[in-house]
Amino acid sequence: PRYIWLSRHGESQYNLEGKIGGDADLSERGMKYARKLKDLVEKYVPNHDKLEVWTSTLRRTQQTAQFLPNPKKQWKALDELDAGSCDGLTYEEIAQRFPEDFAARDENKFEYRYRGGESYRDVIQRLEPIIMELENQENVLVITHQAVLRCIYAYFMNSPQEKSPWMSIPLHTLIRLEPRAYGTNVTRIKANI
Ligand code: F6P
């Protein structure tokens, strides 16, 4: 069978502080996940010696990949949704400083574009070449970010694009997709750390 493997980066310092965006390092727990991910790959990925690992250009995804001996590729197109002026803020701070934007995002999370940043629709557009590559690849693990993974996941699950912002992609979980002619099978492997 042909599988596509997906994972968010391990918990970051920003995740702990509730801040969005940025380029933070992994937390201690996030580092534990990075180590555990190596074990999970060895255990669950057939032909893991031939696996390719794709990350974004951000530290937290590379740190998550660091214990995997596999060849790696970095893609700018896998970077997290750009929150523009809101980068580095908590949702509470965004609600205080940019109340209209906060309400607008609540109203239409798919179309809402951060000031100087991106919307989910924008992310889907820049993911197009990645998704095309993934369609042709045999054995890839993609380690990236929440919003980006929601879009990739929705695509392979054949969900309408507009539903992407609500896909559930928890931390510290390795997701196995098996695309088939009539739909994609999903297996979620929790790291329990
Ligand atoms: O909080 C982690 C994070 O990856 C942020 O960097 C990003 O802005 C956010 O999740 C995306 O999730 P949502 O679209 O629900 O705000």
Ordered per-residue pLDDT tens for the chain, 193 residues: 799 999 999 999 999 999 999 999 999 999 999 999 999 999 999 999 999 999 999 999 999 999 999 999 999 999 999 999 999 999 999 999 999 999 999 999 999 999 999 999 999 999 999 999 999 998 999 999 999 999 999 999 999 999 999 999 999 999 999 999 999 999 999 999 9
Q: What residue's CA is closest to ligand 1, atom 2?
A: 20
> Would you state the pLDDT for residue 36?
98
Helices 120-136 and 146-156 sit at what angle, rounded to 10 degrees? 60
Q: How many residues does the chain have?
A: 193
> Would you state the pLDDT for residue 162?
98
d(CA 87, CA 35) in angstroms, rounded, equals 28
> Would you state the pLDDT for residue 1?
77
184-193 pLDDT, tens digit each: 999 999 999 9
With CA atoms as reference, report the closest residue to 2 among 181, 188, 189: 181
> Would you state the pLDDT for residue 148?
99
d(CA 91, CA 118) in angstroms, rounded, equals 16
Kindly list the catalytic residues. Answer: 9, 80
Mutate to test the pocket of ligand 1, among 8, 120, 146 (most ligand atoms within 8 A of CB): 146
Give the position, in ligand 1's atom list, of the atom nearest the Cα of 18. 1
Instruction: Say yes or no: ipTM exceeds 0.90.
Output: yes
Buried b (16+ CB within 10 A) or exposed e, 30-60: bbbbbebbbebbeeebeebeebebbbbebbb
- pTM over 0.95? The answer is yes
Residues 91, 74 contacting (CB under 8 angstroms): no
Please tell me the distance between residue 165's alpha carbon and the centre of ligand 1 in angstroms.
9
> Would you state the pLDDT for residue 145?
98
Which are the contacts of 73, defined by CB distance < 8 A and separation ≥ 6? 52, 53, 54, 55
